[in-house]
Amino acid sequence: GESVGLHLPTLSVQEGDNSIINCAYSNSASDYFIWYKQESGKGPQFIIDIRSNMDKRQGQRVTVLLNKTVKHLSLQIAATQPGDSAVYFCAANNDMRFGAGTRLTVKP
């Protein structure tokens, strides 16, 4: 399977600030990437995806950036809200194995 890892295990931001969560992957053949959000006691939920023929994709308050040169992708959350507090996972090519995730904590 793919090897996908996350740079930071925890991230704490102030409410209203922007958040950036990073992810690295190892297989240069990966061509599809997904970000998931998992709130405490719940299953992961799809946030946004991106294919390798794009380097940026925007959703509502979220943006995913893909840098194929360095095999890195990031999730940017604009105007972070308390409801954004969760663990965020990235996945490549629907690899069923996830890395540790990044726990985002939003301070009021």
Partner 1 sequence: GAVVSQHPSWVICKSGTSVKIECRSLDFQATTMFWYRQFPKQSLMLMATSNEGSKATYEQGVEKDKFLINHASLTLSTLTVTSAHPEDSSFYICSALGTDFRLTNEKLFFGSGTQLSVL
In sequence order, which residues have a C-beta less than 8 Å from that of residue 98 and are 6 or more positions away? 4, 36, 89, 91
Give dist(CA 98, CA 82) in Å, integer.
24
List interacting residues with partner 1 (CB under 8 A): 32, 34, 36, 41-46, 49, 89, 91, 94, 96-101, 103
CA atoms of 108 and 103, how far apart (whole Å): 16
Q: For partner 1, which is the closer residue by CB, 18 or 45? A: 45
Taking the complex as a whole, the smallest distance from the CB of residue 82 to partner 1 amounts, in Å, to: 19
- Residue placing its CB nearer to partner 1 in the complex, 54 or 79: 54
Nearer to partner 1, 53 or 69 (CB): 53
